[in-house]
């Protein structure tokens, strides 16, 4: 008689076998809880399963948060595109920078699209691949648990069979032990007893085979998991590093590029305001930029630096005593004779002679050359440990990222020593040459110098 087919590869016999296995496992678990059957324990494996569950939970949470982040990026992209499109629609064709504004709007949309796609390719797909291995391992752990119960059940059954063997050994074959044996003729009772012994031996043999089979199945799956679980647990470090490095790198690059486009758009709108005759505002070289650092100065022309004028030649407030005495030399002093007191002095000539030195003092004071009066210089008033060409100090108000090799990288709060350009013709309008004070104190002549925008700083 053919077995009843229940569909999807199942038959009545297979269903019955599965039901029997579940009943046997349930019975074995009950016996283990009651302490009537031994339970195999593996502490190291159980710790590995705890780590696996923790790793799976953390990875699943990261996957959900990453998907939510991508949805937020997508929503922000859509909102940004709507705002930019509104600006492009309102921007009239005859306004300043119309083509540039359209180009900026298009570039912003491309940047958002590229940013979202890179996050999907290098973060989300990697995340999905990483988590894809967990369900299979989780199913194998559950299967190992079932096979462990089968193995324990087979050991228990084998032990029970061996106890029965010892009891059977004490029974005499000549003594009937059942109604069948009692009803059997005397000459056939020995044959029936021999058959019962053979059946007991067969049961013991089946129990031994079942134990070997259950042990083999359990050990195969157990060995594989013993190797995979620690390896999977250790792999989380490299995966987290790779994922968050990708996120940080793409985000940093995106914001840098979008920031440049925002800077260009700001400059265009500022120029539009200056060229608008109805604005009623005069163009100003210094404007406040809300919510961020001031615009970086842009000047294609090379202008001479604002070098301070040379000190004016002014007479010294106090003439040195020796200079005053030297003015009254032998030619300027009156010829007074002390040997002939009786001879009257010529007071008129004395008055004229005395007036001459006074006039000479005034002329000397007004016509004194710069060489005779020490010139006040920057070097004389500055400390000796300042770099050559030092002019003054400034404090950085906004971070500035260098865009070229000759520019100075600055952070808000840095103090910069402003120095003269080696070649004044190389200085652009709105830019200064300087050395960070900390670098100068540490490296002196080896300190790095570079140019920086003046409106990012405040003079001390």
The CATH number for 397's domain is 2.30.30.40
| Domain-terminating residue out of 278, 312, 340 | 278
Within-domain flag for 313:
no
CATH of the domain at 105: 1.20.1270.60
pLDDT of residue 436: 93
Within 184-320, residue ranges assigned H as helices are: 186-275
Asked if residue 176 and residue 116 are part of one domain, the reply reads yes
Asked if residue 382 and residue 247 are part of one domain, the reply reads no
Within-domain flag for 315:
no
Within-domain flag for 198:
yes
The yes-or-no verdict on residue 401 having pLDDT over 70 is yes
Residue 31 banded pLDDT, cuts 50, 70, 90: low
Q: What is the DSSP string of 31-63?
A: HHHTTSS-----HHHHHHHHHHHHHHHHHHHHH
Asked if residue 164 and residue 72 are part of one domain, the reply reads yes
**Mean pLDDT over each residue of the chain, to the nearest integer:** 75
Report how many domains make up the chain: 3
Mean pLDDT of 25-41: 65
Within-domain flag for 152:
yes
The yes-or-no verdict on residue 356 having pLDDT over 70 is no
**3-state SS string over 400-459?**
ECCCCCCECCECCCCEEEEECCCCHHHCECCEEEEEEHHHHHHHHHHCCEEEEEHHHEEE
Residue 445 banded pLDDT, cuts 50, 70, 90: confident
Cα distance between residue 109 and residue 209, in whole Å:
70
Within-domain flag for 13:
no
Mean pLDDT of 317-324: 47
* 11 three-class SS: strand
Does 273 or 368 have the greater pLDDT score? 273
Asked if residue 424 and residue 365 are part of one domain, the reply reads no
Asked if residue 383 and residue 368 are part of one domain, the reply reads no
| Domain-terminating residue out of 216, 251, 278 | 278
| Domain-terminating residue out of 330, 347, 372 | 372
Asked if residue 363 and residue 272 are part of one domain, the reply reads no
Asked if residue 398 and residue 250 are part of one domain, the reply reads no
DSSP structural state of residue 7: E
Q: Which of the given ranges, 7-11, 74-78, 144-148, 285-289, has the highest pLDDT on average? A: 74-78
The yes-or-no verdict on residue 181 having pLDDT over 80 is no
Within-domain flag for 26:
no
The yes-or-no verdict on residue 434 having pLDDT over 80 is yes
**3-state SS string over 327-362?**
HCCCCCCCCCCCCCCCCCCCHHHHHHHHHHHHHHHH
pLDDT of residue 284: 43
Range of the domain at 403: 378-459
Residue 293 banded pLDDT, cuts 50, 70, 90: low
Contacts of 230 (CB under 8 A, 6+ apart): 48
Asked if residue 334 and residue 453 are part of one domain, the reply reads no
Residue 105 banded pLDDT, cuts 50, 70, 90: very high
Asked if residue 396 and residue 349 are part of one domain, the reply reads no
Contact status, residue 12 vs residue 4, Cβ threshold 8 Å = yes
Contact status, residue 361 vs residue 324, Cβ threshold 8 Å = yes
Does 452 or 29 have the greater pLDDT score? 452
pTM above 0.75, yes or no: no
In angstroms, what CA-CA distances link 308 with 47, 58, 405, 417? 76, 64, 28, 16
Asked if residue 366 and residue 451 are part of one domain, the reply reads no
Asked if residue 154 and residue 251 are part of one domain, the reply reads yes
Within-domain flag for 193:
yes
Q: State phi, psi for 142 to the nearest 5 degrees.
A: -65, -40
Mean pLDDT of 168-177: 45
Within-domain flag for 330:
yes
The yes-or-no verdict on residue 225 having pLDDT over 60 is yes
Residue ranges with strand state E in 101-149 = none
Asked if residue 390 and residue 364 are part of one domain, the reply reads no
């Amino acid at each position: 008689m053919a077995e009843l087919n229940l569909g999807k590869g199942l038959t009545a016999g297979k269903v019955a076998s599965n039901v029997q296995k579940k009943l046997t496992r349930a019975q074995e678990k009950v016996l283990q809880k009651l302490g009537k059957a031994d339970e195999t324990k593996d502490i190291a494996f159980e710790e590995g399963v705890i780590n696996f569950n923790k790793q799976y939970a953390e990875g699943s949470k990261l996957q959900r948060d990453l998907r939510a982040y991508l949805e937020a990026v997508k929503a922000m992209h859509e909102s940004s595109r709507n705002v930019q499109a509104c600006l492009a629609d309102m921007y009239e064709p005859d306004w300043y920078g119309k083509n540039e504004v359209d180009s900026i709007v298009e570039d912003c949309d491309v940047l958002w699209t590229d940013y979202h796609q890179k996050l999907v390719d290098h973060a989300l797909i990697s995340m999905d691949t990483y988590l894809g291995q967990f369900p299979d391992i989780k199913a194998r752990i559950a299967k190992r648990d079932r096979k462990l119960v089968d193995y324990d059940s087979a050991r228990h059954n084998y032990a029970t069979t061996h106890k029965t063997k010892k009891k059977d050994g004490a029974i005499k074959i000549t003594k009937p032990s059942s109604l069948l044996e009692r009803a059997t003729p005397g000459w056939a009772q020995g044959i029936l007893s021999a058959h019962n012994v053979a059946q007991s031996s067969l049961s013991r043999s089946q129990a031994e085979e079942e134990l070997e089979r259950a042990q083999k199945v359990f050990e195969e799956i157990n060995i594989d998991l013993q190797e995979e679980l620690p390896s999977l647990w250790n792999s989380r470090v490299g995966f987290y590093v790779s994922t968050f490095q990708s996120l940080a790198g793409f985000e940093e690059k995106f914001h840098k590029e979008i920031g440049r486009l925002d800077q260009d758009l700001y400059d265009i709108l500022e120029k539009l305001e200056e060229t608008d005759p109805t604005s009623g505002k005069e163009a100003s070289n210094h404007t406040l930029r809300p919510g961020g650092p001031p615009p970086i100065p842009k000047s294609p022309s090379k202008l001479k630096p604002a070098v301070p004028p040379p000190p004016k030649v002014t007479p010294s407030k106090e003439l040195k005593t020796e200079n005053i005495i030297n003015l009254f030399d032998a030619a300027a002093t009156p010829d007074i004779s002390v040997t002939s007191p009786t001879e009257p002095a010529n007071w008129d000539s004395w008055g004229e002679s005395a007036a001459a030195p006074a006039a000479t003092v005034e002329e000397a004071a007004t016509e004194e050359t710069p060489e005779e009066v020490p010139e006040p210089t920057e070097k004389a008033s500055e400390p000796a440990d300042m770099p050559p060409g030092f002019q003054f100090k400034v404090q950085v108000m906004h971070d500035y990222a260098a865009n070229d090799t000759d520019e100075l990288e600055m952070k808000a709060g840095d103090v910069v020593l402003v120095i003269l350009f080696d070649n004044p013709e190389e200085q652009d309008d709105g830019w200064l040459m300087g050395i960070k004070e900390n670098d100068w104190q540490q490296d002196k002549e080896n300190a790095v110098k570079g140019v920086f925008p003046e409106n990012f700083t405040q003079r001390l």
